[in-house]
Amino acid sequence: MNSRSYADSATVRSGERTLLASIHDVGPRFEAQVDALADRLSRHLGGPRFAMLVVPNHWGEAPLGEARAFQAKLREWASHGVEMFVHGWFHKDGGSHSGAAGFKAKHMTAGEGEFLGLSKPEALRRMQDGRALIEDIIGRPTAGFIAPAWLYGPGAREALGDAGFAMAEDHMRVWRPSDGAVLAKGPVVTWASRSRARIRSSLAFAALARTALRPLKTLRIAVHPGDTTVTSLLDSIDASLSAAVRHRRVGRYADLLTRADA
CA–CA distance, 214 with 187 (Å, rounded to integer): 12
User: In which residue ranges of the chain is pLDDT below 70?
Assistant: 1-15, 93-111, 259-262
Whole-prediction pTM = 0.89
3-state helix, strand, coil in the chain (%, to 5): 50, 15, 35
Burial annotation 222-256 (CB, 10 A radius, 16+ → b, else e): bbbbbbbebeebbebbeebbebbbeebebbbbbbb
17-258: CATH topology: TIM Barrel (3.20.20)
**pLDDT for the residue 108:** 45
Largest CA distance in the chain: 50
pLDDT of amino acid 85: 98
What are the residue boundaries of the structural domains of the chain, listed by start?
17-258
C-alpha closest to that of 135 among 159, 166, 106: 166
Per-residue pLDDT, 255 = 96
Q: What is the pLDDT of residue 146?
A: 98
Residue 113, pLDDT score: 81
